[in-house]
Structure 1
Amino acid sequence: MAENRRNGKESNDDGGAHEDLDRGPASQAAMAMGGVNSDALRSNSSYAKAVGNASWPTIDSLPEPIQAGEIRRIIIPQQDYESKRQSFRYSLIRRVNFKAISLDALRKEAADKWNLNQRVTIHPLGKGFVIFQFQCEGDKAAVRRRSPMKIGSQLIRFQHWKSDFNIHVKQTWSKLIWIRFPDLPLEYWHENVLLSIAKAVGRPVALDHHTKQGLMGHYARVLVEMDTTETASLIEEVQVERLEPGTTRVFGFRQQVQYEDDISRCGFCKRLGHKVGECRSKRLEDEK
């Protein structure tokens, strides 16, 4: 990851999310110099003026750098890192096309329409990626359940934030996959019934056209968004239960789940959806 960050050669295109900082009006000195760049003026300012009245940070207790060959290492304060990391534990992340919606419009949408119990902080990260930092698990879960969400003219499909997120590395935490329920009796081919069964596998997104129209077939077909992280489970059977009509007796059966796409687990990173030969994490590790 660190190697990728140092040598990343991708373009700086962030989907129109670049924000210019308002530096304020140019100084008279700058105007007299023909509009000299303000950064150049700052670099020429005196040391005392740069420091001003700011208090010096206490660094004596901080770890000392370690020279290891040509690399200088630093072991950061673990407790402080963990504290900062915890502040993002209720966060979601997604890429947004800022040519279709502004950051201010996105924030207004969240404030006006998401019905949150507490405030959400929205940070642009570059290259169109945005992190939505919620204050409680309930707000995060409510927004995640509504994903994909239409915001402006685009659909936003949220994903869980992960530590060490890098905008220059392709993130594949979930995958859209068509699943089948073979030999499912036709009386179960109601949209809500099928979506309920599919929830045991992932987040249902849509029913196949033939399935939705109730056309005859050997299997019902549902598109689901599946978690592909190392902790994800591959569901091969679902226990379907209901009450016998007019009674309180429970009837149940096991329904097989078939996956149309490759959903094998990688032997290197332990995530679903690819094999070792296609693993980005392994390629990055091999290049070190």
Structure 2
Amino acid sequence: MGDMGGTGDLGGNGSVAVEDEDGDARESLDRGPEVPPLSVRQEDVGNKRHVVIPQRDYESKWQNFRFALIGRVNFRLISLDTLRMEAQEKWNLSQGILMHLLGKGYIIFQFQCQGDKVAVWRRSPVRVREQVIRFHHWKPDFNIHEKQSLTKLVWIRFLDLPLEYWHKNILLSIAKVVGHPVALDRQTRQGLLGYFARVLVEIDISDSAVRVEEVQVERLEPGPSQVFGFCQKVVYEDKVERCGIASVWIT
């Protein structure tokens, strides 16, 4: 073959130092980047190729999304620029936010700190112009082509719950059977209203979801190791008239 217009010396890492026509040197990889032994492994199975990726690098990248939420937007109603401006001006974020378009209207909202993520998620759904956005926690291997579970926030009541059970951790333990606890009603936390305890939870509303109507609550009797239990009824406020009682968010 003829002269390619440059000369190269083989480096110690298997690369070739090539001189451009203007005299500047650059590296041309001859054997590809070096990979630590066993960190990447490729196997041939039929017409498929299998590879084991570097775990440390994956976990490092995963950390970038530990404060992320998923939302879905109809871009026929608002633009991405409008959404970014709304977040900057009205979401009261202490740090910045990145928005990654995934397709089918899905967006990863990448917050820089836990406080900003929690503050926005607790306000879900958020209205931006004519668009209502419901947020969900980001999870690894999120795929826009898979059917996503639908959730919503709803207040639940524990009717006639004895006041000695009105402790934050006890109420959260009961509420976890129903969904993901988000907030305690202020009067519940202060024990001012004894008719029912009130907790805000995130519940699954997909077609296959089943609402928990009763919870079997158990505890140990003082002294002998005997179990005492009772059945606690759960009432969902989206089935009853709403009331404007202030709440205290769980931190």
- Normalised by the length of structure 2, the TM-score is 0.54
Structure 1 residue runs of 4 or more that deviate by more than 4 Å after TM superposition? 53-57, 175-185, 219-224
Supply the AA of the counterpart residue of 1:236.
Answer: V
Supply the AA of the counterpart residue of 2:45.
Answer: A
Supply the AA of the counterpart residue of 2:55.
Answer: Q
Question: What's the secondary structure of 1:226's corresponding residue?
Answer: strand
Change (3 A) 1:82 1:152: same
User: Residue in 1 aligned with 2:215?
Assistant: 236
User: Residue in 1 aligned with 2:167?
Assistant: none
For the pair 1:258 / 2:237, whether they are aligned, the reply is no
- Aligned with residue 130 of structure 1, among 100, 107, 115: 107
Question: What's the secondary structure of 1:80's corresponding residue?
Answer: helix
Contact 1:203 1:226 in 2 (8 A): no
Counterparts of 2:69 and 2:49 in 1: how far apart (Å)?
33
- Aligned with residue 92 of structure 1, among 69, 85, 94: 69
Contact 1:203 1:224 in 2 (8 A): yes
Change (3 A) 1:55 1:159: farther
Counterparts of 2:112 and 2:28 in 1: how far apart (Å)?
31
Question: What's the secondary structure of 1:117's corresponding residue?
Answer: coil
Instruction: Quote the sequence identity (%).
Output: 52
Counterparts of 2:101 and 2:35 in 1: how far apart (Å)?
34
Supply the AA of the counterpart residue of 2:60.
Answer: S
Show structure 2 runs of 5+ residues with no match.
Answer: 1-19, 21-25, 163-170, 176-180, 184-195, 206-211, 218-229, 237-251
Aligned residues: CA RMSD: 3.9
Q: Which moved more, 1:65-74 or 1:219-228?
A: 219-228
For the pair 1:174 / 2:151, whether they are aligned, the reply is yes
Contact 2:71 2:106 in 1 (8 A): yes
Counterparts of 1:114 and 1:55 in 2: how far apart (Å)?
47
- Normalised by the length of structure 1, the TM-score is 0.47
The count of aligned residue pairs is 165
The structure richer in helix per residue is: 1
| 1:21-170 correspondence runs (5 A) | 56=29, 58-61=33-36, 63-170=40-147
Counterparts of 2:118 and 2:154 in 1: how far apart (Å)?
22
Change (3 A) 1:159 1:169: same
Question: What's the secondary structure of 1:121's corresponding residue?
Answer: strand
Show structure 1 runs of 5+ residues with no match.
Answer: 1-47, 186-196, 205-218, 229-233, 239-253, 261-288
For residues 50-79 of structure 1, the C-alpha deviation after alignment (integer angstroms, 9 at most, x for no partner) is xxx686462444624211243210000000
Question: What's the secondary structure of 2:116's corresponding residue?
Answer: helix
